[in-house]
Structure 1
Protein backbone atom coordinates (compact mmCIF):
# COMPACT_ATOMS: atom_id res chain seq x y z
CA UNK A 1 0.00 0.00 0.00
CA UNK A 2 1.19 3.51 -0.81
CA UNK A 3 -0.11 6.98 -0.13
CA UNK A 4 0.02 8.70 -3.55
CA UNK A 5 0.14 12.14 -1.97
CA UNK A 6 3.20 11.21 0.10
CA UNK A 7 5.12 8.52 -1.74
CA UNK A 8 4.65 9.85 -5.27
CA UNK A 9 5.51 13.40 -4.26
CA UNK A 10 8.75 12.13 -2.73
CA UNK A 11 9.49 10.10 -5.86
CA UNK A 12 8.84 13.08 -8.14
CA UNK A 13 11.04 15.24 -5.91
CA UNK A 14 13.94 12.78 -6.17
CA UNK A 15 13.55 12.54 -9.94
CA UNK A 16 13.43 16.32 -10.29
CA UNK A 17 16.47 16.99 -8.11
CA UNK A 18 18.27 14.32 -10.14
CA UNK A 19 17.41 16.03 -13.43
CA UNK A 20 17.81 19.67 -12.49
CA UNK A 21 19.87 19.67 -9.31
CA UNK A 22 23.06 18.06 -8.03
CA UNK A 23 24.26 14.55 -7.28
CA UNK A 24 25.36 15.43 -3.74
CA UNK A 25 21.68 15.56 -2.83
CA UNK A 26 20.15 13.26 -5.45
CA UNK A 27 22.35 10.29 -4.47
CA UNK A 28 21.21 10.35 -0.84
CA UNK A 29 17.67 9.48 0.26
CA UNK A 30 18.25 11.31 3.55
CA UNK A 31 19.52 14.46 1.86
CA UNK A 32 16.60 14.39 -0.57
CA UNK A 33 14.16 14.13 2.33
CA UNK A 34 15.75 17.07 4.12
CA UNK A 35 15.70 19.18 0.96
CA UNK A 36 12.09 18.16 0.33
CA UNK A 37 11.09 19.42 3.79
CA UNK A 38 12.71 22.78 3.08
CA UNK A 39 11.04 22.91 -0.31
CA UNK A 40 7.57 22.43 1.17
CA UNK A 41 8.28 25.05 3.83
CA UNK A 42 8.98 27.50 1.00
CA UNK A 43 5.90 26.42 -0.94
CA UNK A 44 3.59 26.67 2.08
CA UNK A 45 4.72 30.24 2.59
CA UNK A 46 2.82 31.23 -0.56
CA UNK A 47 -0.45 31.78 1.32
CA UNK A 48 -3.25 34.07 0.11
CA UNK A 49 -2.14 36.59 2.71
CA UNK A 50 1.44 36.47 1.43
CA UNK A 51 0.25 37.00 -2.14
CA UNK A 52 -2.02 39.94 -1.35
CA UNK A 53 0.20 41.48 1.36
CA UNK A 54 3.78 40.40 0.60
CA UNK A 55 5.15 42.88 3.14
CA UNK A 56 3.23 41.34 6.09
CA UNK A 57 5.56 39.27 8.35
CA UNK A 58 3.19 36.33 8.88
CA UNK A 59 4.48 33.07 10.46
CA UNK A 60 4.23 31.33 7.07
CA UNK A 61 6.31 34.06 5.43
CA UNK A 62 8.94 33.90 8.15
CA UNK A 63 9.25 30.12 7.70
CA UNK A 64 9.51 30.63 3.95
CA UNK A 65 12.32 33.18 4.33
CA UNK A 66 14.19 30.90 6.76
CA UNK A 67 13.82 27.83 4.51
CA UNK A 68 14.86 29.80 1.42
CA UNK A 69 18.03 30.95 3.19
CA UNK A 70 18.83 27.37 4.24
CA UNK A 71 18.39 26.09 0.68
CA UNK A 72 20.57 28.87 -0.73
CA UNK A 73 23.31 28.22 1.84
CA UNK A 74 23.17 24.46 1.14
CA UNK A 75 23.61 24.86 -2.61
CA UNK A 76 26.21 27.58 -2.04
CA UNK A 77 28.34 25.18 0.04
CA UNK A 78 28.12 22.51 -2.67
CA UNK A 79 29.17 24.98 -5.37
CA UNK A 80 32.08 26.30 -3.27
CA UNK A 81 33.32 22.76 -2.62
CA UNK A 82 33.29 21.95 -6.32
CA UNK A 83 35.11 25.14 -7.27
CA UNK A 84 37.71 25.01 -4.50
CA UNK A 85 38.48 21.28 -4.72
CA UNK A 86 38.05 20.88 -8.46
CA UNK A 87 35.30 18.34 -7.89
CA UNK A 88 33.18 17.51 -10.93
CA UNK A 89 29.87 15.67 -11.25
CA UNK A 90 27.69 14.66 -14.16
CA UNK A 91 24.62 16.79 -13.44
CA UNK A 92 22.80 19.98 -14.39
CA UNK A 93 24.58 22.06 -11.77
CA UNK A 94 27.97 21.14 -13.22
CA UNK A 95 26.84 22.13 -16.70
CA UNK A 96 25.91 25.59 -15.44
CA UNK A 97 29.19 25.93 -13.55
CA UNK A 98 31.13 24.94 -16.66
CA UNK A 99 29.33 27.74 -18.50
CA UNK A 100 30.68 30.22 -15.88
CA UNK A 101 27.29 31.14 -14.45
CA UNK A 102 27.33 32.89 -11.09
CA UNK A 103 26.41 31.08 -7.89
CA UNK A 104 23.18 33.08 -7.65
CA UNK A 105 22.20 32.19 -11.22
CA UNK A 106 22.90 28.49 -10.66
CA UNK A 107 20.84 28.36 -7.48
CA UNK A 108 18.04 30.35 -9.10
CA UNK A 109 17.90 27.84 -11.95
CA UNK A 110 17.82 24.83 -9.61
CA UNK A 111 15.02 26.34 -7.52
CA UNK A 112 13.08 27.22 -10.67
CA UNK A 113 13.34 23.61 -11.88
CA UNK A 114 12.22 22.29 -8.50
CA UNK A 115 9.13 24.49 -8.32
CA UNK A 116 8.27 23.96 -11.98
CA UNK A 117 8.76 20.22 -11.84
CA UNK A 118 7.47 19.06 -8.47
CA UNK A 119 4.19 20.66 -7.44
CA UNK A 120 2.07 20.10 -10.55
CA UNK A 121 3.84 16.88 -11.56
CA UNK A 122 3.46 15.39 -8.08
CA UNK A 123 -0.19 16.39 -7.87
CA UNK A 124 -1.09 15.01 -11.29
CA UNK A 125 0.89 11.82 -10.72
CA UNK A 126 -0.98 11.12 -7.49
CA UNK A 127 -4.40 11.73 -9.01
CA UNK A 128 -3.49 9.77 -12.15
CA UNK A 129 -2.83 6.69 -10.01
CA UNK A 130 -6.13 7.16 -8.19
CA UNK A 131 -8.22 7.74 -11.32
CA UNK A 132 -6.67 4.80 -13.19
CA UNK A 133 -7.35 2.56 -10.20
CA UNK A 134 -11.03 3.50 -10.56
CA UNK A 135 -11.04 2.78 -14.30
CA UNK A 136 -9.61 -0.74 -14.93
CA UNK A 137 -10.15 -0.47 -18.68
CA UNK A 138 -7.85 2.54 -19.05
CA UNK A 139 -5.43 1.24 -16.43
CA UNK A 140 -4.96 -1.98 -18.41
CA UNK A 141 -4.42 0.01 -21.62
CA UNK A 142 -1.74 2.13 -19.98
CA UNK A 143 0.02 -0.94 -18.55
CA UNK A 144 -0.08 -2.65 -21.96
CA UNK A 145 1.35 0.46 -23.60
CA UNK A 146 4.22 0.62 -21.10
CA UNK A 147 4.91 -3.10 -21.54
CA UNK A 148 5.05 -2.61 -25.30
CA UNK A 149 7.45 0.32 -25.21
CA UNK A 150 9.87 -1.39 -22.85
CA UNK A 151 9.75 -4.67 -24.81
CA UNK A 152 10.52 -2.77 -28.01
CA UNK A 153 13.39 -0.63 -26.76
CA UNK A 154 14.78 -2.75 -23.90
CA UNK A 155 13.68 -6.39 -24.36
CA UNK A 156 13.95 -8.79 -21.43
CA UNK A 157 16.40 -10.86 -23.46
CA UNK A 158 18.96 -8.07 -23.12
CA UNK A 159 21.64 -7.87 -20.44
CA UNK A 160 19.78 -5.65 -17.98
CA UNK A 161 20.31 -5.90 -14.24
CA UNK A 162 16.84 -4.69 -13.29
CA UNK A 163 13.52 -3.40 -14.58
CA UNK A 164 14.65 0.11 -13.67
CA UNK A 165 17.65 -0.28 -15.97
CA UNK A 166 15.36 -1.37 -18.79
CA UNK A 167 13.18 1.70 -18.31
CA UNK A 168 16.24 3.96 -18.25
CA UNK A 169 17.31 2.48 -21.60
CA UNK A 170 14.17 3.70 -23.37
CA UNK A 171 15.15 6.80 -25.42
CA UNK A 172 13.52 10.17 -24.66
CA UNK A 173 11.91 10.26 -28.11
CA UNK A 174 9.99 7.09 -27.28
CA UNK A 175 8.72 8.50 -23.99
CA UNK A 176 7.56 11.62 -25.80
CA UNK A 177 5.98 10.06 -28.90
CA UNK A 178 5.03 6.44 -28.24
CA UNK A 179 2.64 6.66 -25.28
CA UNK A 180 -0.58 8.17 -26.72
CA UNK A 181 -2.90 6.47 -24.21
CA UNK A 182 -0.88 7.63 -21.22
CA UNK A 183 -0.71 11.14 -22.71
CA UNK A 184 -4.50 11.22 -23.03
CA UNK A 185 -4.91 9.96 -19.46
CA UNK A 186 -2.61 12.70 -18.18
CA UNK A 187 -4.59 15.35 -20.07
CA UNK A 188 -7.82 13.95 -18.65
CA UNK A 189 -6.37 14.02 -15.15
CA UNK A 190 -5.37 17.66 -15.59
CA UNK A 191 -8.91 18.47 -16.75
CA UNK A 192 -10.49 16.85 -13.70
CA UNK A 193 -8.07 18.19 -11.12
CA UNK A 194 -7.73 21.76 -12.40
CA UNK A 195 -11.35 22.70 -11.83
CA UNK A 196 -10.53 25.58 -9.55
CA UNK A 197 -10.53 29.35 -9.78
CA UNK A 198 -7.80 30.85 -11.95
CA UNK A 199 -6.60 34.26 -10.81
CA UNK A 200 -4.96 37.06 -12.70
CA UNK A 201 -4.21 40.65 -11.87
CA UNK A 202 -4.32 43.16 -14.70
CA UNK A 203 -1.03 45.06 -14.63
CA UNK A 204 -0.49 46.24 -18.20
CA UNK A 205 -3.27 48.82 -18.49
CA UNK A 206 -7.04 48.74 -18.84
CA UNK A 207 -8.44 45.88 -20.94
CA UNK A 208 -11.76 45.20 -22.64
CA UNK A 209 -13.66 41.99 -21.82
CA UNK A 210 -17.11 41.35 -23.28
CA UNK A 211 -17.58 45.05 -23.97
CA UNK A 212 -16.65 46.12 -20.44
CA UNK A 213 -13.56 47.97 -19.30
CA UNK A 214 -11.50 46.25 -16.63
CA UNK A 215 -9.31 48.85 -14.89
CA UNK A 216 -5.60 48.34 -14.44
CA UNK A 217 -4.80 46.66 -11.11
CA UNK A 218 -8.03 44.64 -11.02
CA UNK A 219 -7.99 41.03 -9.82
CA UNK A 220 -9.82 38.67 -12.19
CA UNK A 221 -11.07 35.16 -11.42
CA UNK A 222 -12.35 32.48 -13.76
CA UNK A 223 -13.75 29.12 -12.72
CA UNK A 224 -12.14 26.42 -14.85
CA UNK A 225 -14.85 24.04 -13.63
CA UNK A 226 -17.36 25.84 -15.87
CA UNK A 227 -15.43 24.57 -18.89
CA UNK A 228 -13.90 21.35 -17.58
CA UNK A 229 -17.28 20.04 -16.36
CA UNK A 230 -19.33 21.20 -19.35
CA UNK A 231 -21.13 18.11 -20.76
CA UNK A 232 -21.39 19.77 -24.17
CA UNK A 233 -17.58 19.66 -24.35
CA UNK A 234 -16.85 16.55 -22.28
CA UNK A 235 -19.68 13.97 -22.54
CA UNK A 236 -18.79 12.38 -19.18
CA UNK A 237 -17.23 15.23 -17.20
CA UNK A 238 -17.17 13.34 -13.88
CA UNK A 239 -15.60 10.22 -15.35
CA UNK A 240 -12.01 9.45 -16.34
CA UNK A 241 -12.42 8.84 -20.08
CA UNK A 242 -9.11 9.41 -21.83
CA UNK A 243 -10.57 9.54 -25.33
CA UNK A 244 -12.75 12.56 -24.56
Structure 2
Protein backbone atom coordinates (compact mmCIF):
# COMPACT_ATOMS: atom_id res chain seq x y z
CA UNK A 1 0.00 0.00 0.00
CA UNK A 2 1.34 3.42 -0.96
CA UNK A 3 1.86 5.99 1.80
CA UNK A 4 -1.37 7.99 1.74
CA UNK A 5 0.48 11.11 2.86
CA UNK A 6 2.18 11.30 -0.54
CA UNK A 7 -1.10 11.53 -2.47
CA UNK A 8 -2.98 14.66 -3.54
CA UNK A 9 -5.20 15.76 -6.42
CA UNK A 10 -2.13 17.30 -8.05
CA UNK A 11 -0.21 14.05 -7.85
CA UNK A 12 -3.15 12.10 -9.29
CA UNK A 13 -3.36 14.54 -12.22
CA UNK A 14 0.38 14.35 -12.82
CA UNK A 15 0.46 10.56 -12.73
CA UNK A 16 -2.46 10.20 -15.15
CA UNK A 17 -1.05 12.75 -17.61
CA UNK A 18 2.28 10.94 -17.57
CA UNK A 19 0.49 7.66 -18.29
CA UNK A 20 -1.40 9.29 -21.17
CA UNK A 21 1.69 10.90 -22.67
CA UNK A 22 3.70 7.68 -22.50
CA UNK A 23 0.76 5.38 -23.41
CA UNK A 24 1.49 3.33 -20.29
CA UNK A 25 -1.27 1.64 -18.30
CA UNK A 26 -1.57 1.98 -14.53
CA UNK A 27 -3.35 0.06 -11.81
CA UNK A 28 -6.23 1.62 -9.90
CA UNK A 29 -5.29 4.72 -7.91
CA UNK A 30 -8.38 4.26 -5.75
CA UNK A 31 -7.08 0.84 -4.72
CA UNK A 32 -3.85 2.48 -3.52
CA UNK A 33 -5.38 5.58 -1.99
CA UNK A 34 -8.80 5.43 -0.40
CA UNK A 35 -8.76 9.23 -0.11
CA UNK A 36 -9.58 9.47 -3.81
CA UNK A 37 -13.23 10.47 -3.54
CA UNK A 38 -15.28 12.09 -6.32
CA UNK A 39 -14.51 15.64 -5.20
CA UNK A 40 -10.78 14.93 -5.29
CA UNK A 41 -11.11 13.11 -8.62
CA UNK A 42 -12.83 16.13 -10.18
CA UNK A 43 -10.15 18.40 -8.71
CA UNK A 44 -7.49 16.22 -10.35
CA UNK A 45 -9.40 16.35 -13.63
CA UNK A 46 -9.52 20.16 -13.54
CA UNK A 47 -5.83 20.40 -12.62
CA UNK A 48 -4.98 18.17 -15.57
CA UNK A 49 -7.03 20.44 -17.83
CA UNK A 50 -4.98 23.42 -16.63
CA UNK A 51 -1.84 21.55 -17.68
CA UNK A 52 -3.32 20.72 -21.08
CA UNK A 53 -4.22 24.37 -21.68
CA UNK A 54 -0.80 25.56 -20.48
CA UNK A 55 0.90 23.34 -23.05
CA UNK A 56 -1.22 24.77 -25.85
CA UNK A 57 -4.41 22.73 -26.01
CA UNK A 58 -7.72 24.53 -26.48
CA UNK A 59 -10.90 23.45 -24.69
CA UNK A 60 -13.43 22.33 -27.31
CA UNK A 61 -16.18 20.96 -25.12
CA UNK A 62 -17.42 18.51 -22.54
CA UNK A 63 -17.97 14.77 -22.50
CA UNK A 64 -20.29 12.71 -20.33
CA UNK A 65 -19.64 9.24 -19.05
CA UNK A 66 -21.74 6.49 -17.48
CA UNK A 67 -24.96 7.89 -18.90
CA UNK A 68 -26.71 4.54 -19.36
CA UNK A 69 -28.44 2.77 -16.46
CA UNK A 70 -26.63 -0.46 -17.29
CA UNK A 71 -23.21 1.19 -16.99
CA UNK A 72 -24.24 2.96 -13.80
CA UNK A 73 -25.21 -0.36 -12.23
CA UNK A 74 -21.93 -1.85 -13.44
CA UNK A 75 -19.79 0.74 -11.66
CA UNK A 76 -22.10 1.24 -8.69
CA UNK A 77 -23.27 4.84 -9.22
CA UNK A 78 -26.63 6.45 -9.90
CA UNK A 79 -25.62 9.42 -12.05
CA UNK A 80 -23.28 10.25 -14.97
CA UNK A 81 -19.96 12.07 -14.76
CA UNK A 82 -18.44 14.89 -16.77
CA UNK A 83 -15.02 15.49 -18.31
CA UNK A 84 -13.25 17.77 -20.77
CA UNK A 85 -12.58 17.78 -24.51
CA UNK A 86 -9.66 19.59 -26.13
CA UNK A 87 -8.55 20.11 -29.71
CA UNK A 88 -5.82 17.50 -29.22
CA UNK A 89 -8.60 14.92 -28.96
CA UNK A 90 -10.23 15.76 -32.31
CA UNK A 91 -9.91 13.01 -34.93
CA UNK A 92 -10.37 14.62 -38.36
CA UNK A 93 -12.51 12.74 -40.87
CA UNK A 94 -10.33 10.38 -42.89
CA UNK A 95 -7.53 10.09 -40.35
CA UNK A 96 -6.87 6.72 -38.76
CA UNK A 97 -7.12 6.27 -35.00
CA UNK A 98 -3.55 6.83 -33.70
CA UNK A 99 -3.35 3.50 -31.90
CA UNK A 100 0.37 3.90 -31.17
CA UNK A 101 -0.43 6.99 -29.09
CA UNK A 102 -3.16 5.21 -27.15
CA UNK A 103 -3.12 2.31 -24.70
CA UNK A 104 -6.18 0.25 -25.61
CA UNK A 105 -8.53 2.26 -27.79
CA UNK A 106 -12.23 1.46 -27.93
CA UNK A 107 -14.98 3.10 -30.00
CA UNK A 108 -18.54 3.97 -29.07
CA UNK A 109 -21.36 5.84 -30.87
CA UNK A 110 -22.61 9.10 -29.41
CA UNK A 111 -25.09 11.87 -30.09
CA UNK A 112 -23.24 15.19 -29.92
CA UNK A 113 -24.53 18.72 -29.41
CA UNK A 114 -22.84 21.82 -30.79
CA UNK A 115 -23.79 24.74 -28.58
CA UNK A 116 -25.31 27.91 -29.98
CA UNK A 117 -25.03 29.88 -26.77
CA UNK A 118 -23.57 29.64 -23.29
CA UNK A 119 -25.34 27.23 -20.95
CA UNK A 120 -24.85 27.66 -17.23
CA UNK A 121 -26.50 26.00 -14.27
CA UNK A 122 -27.89 25.54 -11.75
CA UNK A 123 -31.51 24.92 -12.58
CA UNK A 124 -31.03 23.91 -16.21
CA UNK A 125 -33.82 21.64 -17.51
CA UNK A 126 -33.72 19.39 -20.56
CA UNK A 127 -35.88 21.88 -22.44
CA UNK A 128 -33.71 24.90 -21.59
CA UNK A 129 -30.58 22.91 -22.35
CA UNK A 130 -31.89 21.95 -25.78
CA UNK A 131 -32.82 25.56 -26.48
CA UNK A 132 -29.12 26.46 -26.15
CA UNK A 133 -28.07 23.93 -28.82
CA UNK A 134 -27.31 25.13 -32.35
CA UNK A 135 -27.21 21.73 -34.03
CA UNK A 136 -26.84 18.00 -33.44
CA UNK A 137 -24.34 15.65 -35.06
CA UNK A 138 -23.48 11.98 -34.86
CA UNK A 139 -20.12 11.09 -33.35
CA UNK A 140 -17.74 8.29 -32.53
CA UNK A 141 -15.73 8.64 -29.37
CA UNK A 142 -12.46 6.75 -29.07
CA UNK A 143 -12.07 6.11 -25.36
CA UNK A 144 -8.74 5.08 -23.84
CA UNK A 145 -8.51 4.37 -20.13
CA UNK A 146 -5.14 4.83 -18.48
CA UNK A 147 -5.93 1.81 -16.30
CA UNK A 148 -4.87 -1.70 -17.22
CA UNK A 149 -7.64 -3.88 -18.60
CA UNK A 150 -10.19 -1.08 -18.24
CA UNK A 151 -10.46 -1.98 -14.56
CA UNK A 152 -11.11 1.06 -12.38
CA UNK A 153 -13.42 2.65 -9.87
CA UNK A 154 -15.72 5.56 -10.64
CA UNK A 155 -13.23 7.86 -8.89
CA UNK A 156 -10.39 6.55 -11.06
CA UNK A 157 -12.43 7.16 -14.21
CA UNK A 158 -13.36 10.74 -13.27
CA UNK A 159 -9.76 11.61 -12.40
CA UNK A 160 -8.76 10.08 -15.75
CA UNK A 161 -11.02 12.54 -17.61
CA UNK A 162 -13.60 9.83 -18.25
CA UNK A 163 -11.19 7.74 -20.34
CA UNK A 164 -10.76 10.48 -22.94
CA UNK A 165 -8.93 9.65 -26.15
CA UNK A 166 -10.15 11.03 -29.47
CA UNK A 167 -13.51 11.94 -31.01
CA UNK A 168 -14.82 12.25 -34.55
CA UNK A 169 -18.01 14.06 -35.52
CA UNK A 170 -20.04 13.41 -38.64
CA UNK A 171 -20.65 15.76 -41.58
CA UNK A 172 -24.45 15.81 -41.29
CA UNK A 173 -26.09 18.15 -38.80
CA UNK A 174 -29.70 18.69 -37.82
CA UNK A 175 -31.53 21.25 -35.74
CA UNK A 176 -32.60 19.70 -32.43
CA UNK A 177 -36.26 20.59 -32.99
CA UNK A 178 -36.23 18.50 -36.17
CA UNK A 179 -35.32 15.29 -34.33
CA UNK A 180 -36.85 12.96 -31.80
CA UNK A 181 -33.57 12.44 -29.97
CA UNK A 182 -34.91 9.74 -27.66
CA UNK A 183 -35.77 7.66 -30.74
CA UNK A 184 -32.70 8.57 -32.81
CA UNK A 185 -31.22 5.17 -33.55
CA UNK A 186 -27.78 3.93 -34.38
CA UNK A 187 -26.24 0.74 -35.71
CA UNK A 188 -22.66 0.02 -34.67
CA UNK A 189 -20.77 -1.82 -37.41
CA UNK A 190 -17.29 -3.38 -37.27
CA UNK A 191 -15.75 -4.52 -40.56
CA UNK A 192 -19.15 -4.64 -42.21
CA UNK A 193 -20.90 -6.57 -39.43
CA UNK A 194 -23.52 -4.95 -37.20
CA UNK A 195 -22.51 -5.71 -33.61
CA UNK A 196 -24.82 -3.49 -31.57
CA UNK A 197 -27.65 -0.97 -31.77
CA UNK A 198 -29.35 1.57 -29.54
CA UNK A 199 -31.46 4.71 -29.45
CA UNK A 200 -30.92 8.07 -27.79
CA UNK A 201 -33.07 6.94 -24.87
CA UNK A 202 -30.06 4.92 -23.70
CA UNK A 203 -28.35 8.23 -22.89
CA UNK A 204 -29.68 9.24 -19.45
CA UNK A 205 -33.22 8.72 -20.77
CA UNK A 206 -32.74 11.48 -23.34
CA UNK A 207 -29.57 13.22 -24.61
CA UNK A 208 -30.97 16.60 -23.52
CA UNK A 209 -31.24 15.29 -19.96
CA UNK A 210 -27.54 14.43 -20.14
CA UNK A 211 -26.78 17.95 -21.39
CA UNK A 212 -28.77 19.50 -18.53
CA UNK A 213 -26.98 17.25 -16.04
CA UNK A 214 -23.62 18.40 -17.41
CA UNK A 215 -24.54 22.08 -17.14
CA UNK A 216 -25.79 21.75 -13.57
CA UNK A 217 -22.88 19.58 -12.42
CA UNK A 218 -20.28 21.88 -13.96
CA UNK A 219 -21.95 24.89 -12.33
CA UNK A 220 -21.29 23.38 -8.91
CA UNK A 221 -17.57 23.54 -9.78
CA UNK A 222 -17.76 27.07 -11.20
CA UNK A 223 -17.88 26.13 -14.89
CA UNK A 224 -20.31 26.68 -17.76
CA UNK A 225 -20.73 25.14 -21.21
CA UNK A 226 -19.63 27.75 -23.73
CA UNK A 227 -21.05 28.67 -27.15
CA UNK A 228 -19.40 26.68 -29.92
CA UNK A 229 -18.42 23.81 -27.67
CA UNK A 230 -19.14 20.18 -28.52
CA UNK A 231 -20.91 18.07 -25.90
CA UNK A 232 -20.57 14.31 -26.26
CA UNK A 233 -23.61 13.00 -24.41
CA UNK A 234 -22.36 9.48 -23.64
CA UNK A 235 -21.99 6.09 -25.24
CA UNK A 236 -25.19 4.71 -26.75
CA UNK A 237 -23.83 1.14 -26.82
CA UNK A 238 -20.96 -0.73 -25.27
CA UNK A 239 -17.57 0.29 -26.66
CA UNK A 240 -15.77 -2.02 -29.10
CA UNK A 241 -11.98 -2.45 -29.41
CA UNK A 242 -10.27 -0.56 -32.22
CA UNK A 243 -8.10 -3.24 -33.81
CA UNK A 244 -5.35 -2.59 -36.39
CA UNK A 245 -6.90 -1.82 -39.75
CA UNK A 246 -10.47 -2.26 -38.49
CA UNK A 247 -13.24 -0.17 -40.02
CA UNK A 248 -15.80 1.01 -37.49
CA UNK A 249 -18.95 2.75 -38.71
CA UNK A 250 -21.97 4.12 -36.92
CA UNK A 251 -25.14 4.55 -38.96
CA UNK A 252 -27.62 6.97 -37.41
CA UNK A 253 -31.29 7.27 -38.35
CA UNK A 254 -31.11 10.97 -39.27
CA UNK A 255 -27.51 11.99 -38.59
CA UNK A 256 -25.81 10.00 -41.32
CA UNK A 257 -22.79 7.76 -40.98
CA UNK A 258 -19.58 8.34 -39.05
CA UNK A 259 -16.61 6.09 -39.84
CA UNK A 260 -13.17 5.62 -38.30
CA UNK A 261 -10.36 3.22 -39.13
CA UNK A 262 -7.89 1.62 -36.78
CA UNK A 263 -4.31 2.58 -37.52
CA UNK A 264 -1.48 0.07 -37.34
TM range (shorter): under 0.3
- TM-score normalized by the length of structure 2: 0.20
The higher relative CO (CA closer than 8 Å, separation ≥ 6) is in: 2
Q: Which has the larger share of helix? A: 1
More strand per residue: 2
Q: TM-score of the superposition, structure 1-length normalised?
A: 0.22
**Greater Cα radius of gyration, structure 1 or 2:** 1
